[in-house]
Every structure is written in C-alpha cells, then in structure tokens.
Amino acid sequence: MTSQYRVNYHLRAHKRDNLIEFIKGMLLTPFVLHSQPAPAQLPDGTREDNSSSGDDDSRSSPEEEANAERYAGIFSNIELLINEHRELMQHGIPSYSRLARLVPSIGTFFTALPLEQAFRHINKQNKISARKYVPPSFNDIRRILNIAQVMAIAEGLQLVTFDGDMTLYADGQNFEPDSELTGLLIGLLQRRISVAIVTAAGYGADAARYEQRLAGLLRGFADAGLSAAEVGRFYVLGGECNFLFRCRADYRLEFLEDSQYTSSALRSWTDAQVQQLLDVAEAELADCVQRMGIRARILRKPRAVGLVPSETLTREQLDECALSSQVALLKFQGSPKSQPCDVPIPFCAFNGGGDCWVDIGNKLIGVRIMQELVASPPAATLHVGDQFLSTGNDISTRAACCTCWIVNPEETQGMLTELDAILDQKQKHSD
C-alpha cells in the first residue's frame, strides 16, 4: 500500500462511519432483490395491484411486510454480532470477533443494542420497508442506532452530556427561551439524572458569557421552580474540558476551580506546553489561509486557536484546515500515526461547520471529568452531539460512553421525547 494511497484513503474515510456503511451494505441486498416496481397503470387510469384488499390504504402490503421482516432479520443478526463482540471484549480479545473482522475500526459497545426493536419502531413511523427506489440510507441507520441506544440505556441512565451548537441551539446562536428542549432537560434533572453541556465554546472562567448563551434554559429552570438539588445536577464544561461550571440555587453558573474536582490525572499538561502546541496550530492555520487564499482571521485564546472566516467556506476547505492542523500537531508530538487522544497533550482539531478550531484537550476528557464528578460509569452515560466524523469534536466521546449522533436541535428534541416516553413507561411499571 503506497503512501499516496494512504493519503487518499484518509481523505475519503473522514467523511464515513464504517459501522453505518457496513449496515447499509447489508440492507442493500434485500432492497435490490425484493423491492417491487410500482404497478403498471391500466388504460382506465387504475393501477394493477393485487397485493392487498379492503378499503384501508394505510395498511402494509404483503410485499412491504415481507421486506420489513427481511430488514428486521438483518438487524437481528447484527445484534448478535455486537453481542459476540461485547463478550470477547470482556475477555480482552475483541479483535477476534466476527464484527471486528468485518469492520476493523469498530470501537467499544458499552451496552447491548436492540437494533431489531429500534428498526421496527422507526419503520412504523417512516415506512422504510415500503420504499421502492430509495434504499435504507445513512441517516435512516443513524436514527435507528440512536433509538436503539436510547432504549438500551434508559433504565440505568445517570448522566447525559450534550454538545451545544447544532445540538441544543442553532450554530452560533443562544438557547432560545421558548425552546421545547427546556422542558425535556428539566425532566431529566427531576428524574435525578445529571445533565452537562460539554461545548467547545471557551470563555475562560467568565460565567456571564456562558449564562448569556444559555439564558433561555436558565430562565426555564427559574420558571419551573427547580430545587437547589435539581439545578445542582446541571453543569457546563467549556473549552472541551477546561472550564467547569455548576448551576447554583439562584439559577446562576458558578465556576469550579480545578481543586474542587478530580482533573489532574486527566489534564496533566503545563501552560508552557499548551502555548507551544498552540503556536504550531496557529502557524498551520495561517499556512492554510495563505495556500488556499482564504479570507479569515486567526483567533488565539488561552487554550485554543481558531480560523474564523470573513466569507463562507466550503466543507472541504474547513476539513482541509482541520486535517492539516491534526497532522501537524501529531508530527510535532512525535506520533504521526497516533490519534489526537493518544499523544502527550491531547487535542481536538475540528471543522465547526462555519469555522475551524484547535482546542487543547477534547470531549473525551470532558466526559470523563463529568463521569468522575457524578460517579457515572460508561454504560450509564450518554453523549449527544452532531460532530461524529473524524473532523468533528464529538467522536472522541465514543471511547468513554454511549452516544447519539444527531444533526440538529429538532433531532435532539425527538430523541429526548423518545427517552422521556421510555422513562415514563418504566416508571409506571415500577409503581
């Protein structure tokens, strides 16, 4: 395998999720072999269709039901592959699993995933099995994986961490006062589930800046009259993992010094090392600006450096900046073949959608800080975010906890609504 091939492969791979691509490939076979073309139109304008009888047009046809069973069977078999992989993980030999051989980059599953049940749930809503021209897509499978994860983790859930932009609110905007997410987040806190916003936004120890971004949510806490214990379960962790705040009884954010929680083992770097690394990142971003002719300014912060364009950039331009910075920092730390999480000073170089940032630390560390703080194990922790490609800043959390990959705040609302319904149902059964 030549060096040029590896480069080209990397540039393709950063836009893919290998597990989703594997599942998509498995579902393509029944779609190709069994999906039927639309029935022919007869001269009198009616359609030749003997697949169903009766007046209820909403009922599934036998062909659709058969196709749904084929899809469900595939998801059931993938469940078995995941279960085998988890079992071998417990024995310390996950690479021997069939799933690891089929998807070599597969990571850790902290819970089982009821994929067949999740597919049937989604299919009832979206009629995936009824489609004749559009096969099950990346987004279909992503949503099924999300619902399966929610179903699996609901009963033992202790901590939910959220990305900010494009997860709880629009990119670069603030949490809206009338957001439907407010009631759903309040519901989690009232169920004794800790909630943390783990965001790249880094304003140092300036609580007022974070309060401004989250004013709508904090006002919702006050309007709901949440108790001190309930709001005390709400946290904000800024700069990926660098600045921790907790909500007080007066619905204001309080900055927590490092000495107030365990973080030294997770963040052992010195300020001199941080600045040296940021110098390298700043130089690389400046080089990207020069060689691609980008109109942008380089913004330096205490633990981050970013490229903020004055014009709209393409996704490919932002990906180039993120990947260039990532490679430069790995080379600088003497580990060009490592991952950003596996070097002396972990970092995150990511495409922010409209800009590009390099942060010291990452959300993997951020989630682990929160897990230690509230004593939540990986199987009881859920991270929700929109940046799970290799140029995103949520992907590292997969090594620490369960995850849900959403693409906008509306999907977050839908996912939390499903979670709320499951929790309600379990509570009724326990009463």
Assign residue 121 a region (left: φ > 0; alpha: ψ between -120 and 50; beta: otherwise).
alpha
Taking the C-alpha atoms of residue 159 and residue 286, their distance in angstroms, rounded to an integer, is: 39
Q: What's the rounded Cα separation, in Å, for the pair 300 and 172? A: 18
pLDDT at 4: 41
Q: Do 105 and 339 touch, CB atoms closer than 8 A? A: no
Q: Give the per-residue pLDDT at 59.
A: 64
Q: What is the pLDDT of residue 335?
A: 67
Question: 32-66: buried (b, 16+ CB within 10 Å) or exposed (e) per residue?
Answer: eeebeeeeeeeeeeeeeeeeeeeeeeeebeebbee
- Tokens of residue 199, six digits: 């965001």
Distances (CA, A) of 264 to 202, 258, 344, 372, 377: 19, 8, 14, 12, 19
- Distance in angstroms (rounded) separating the CA atoms of residues 165 and 416: 17
Q: What is the pLDDT of residue 11?
A: 46
d(CA 414, CA 421): 11
Apex CA 320: angle with CA 319 and CA 321, to 5°? 90
324-342: pLDDT as tens digits: 999 999 999 886 556 666 6
Q: Which residues does the chain have with pLDDT short of 50?
A: 1-11, 50-56
- The rounded distance, in Å, linking the Cα atoms of 311 and 294 is 8
Predicted model pTM: 0.86
Q: CA-CA distances (angstroms) from residue 5 to 1, 91, 316?
A: 6, 35, 19
What local confidence, expressed as pLDDT, does residue 48 receive? 52
Active site residues: 163, 165
Angstrom distance (rounded) from CA 66 to CA 421: 29
Over residues 4-51, the pLDDT tens digits come to: 433 443 445 556 899 999 999 999 988 988 766 555 555 565 655 544
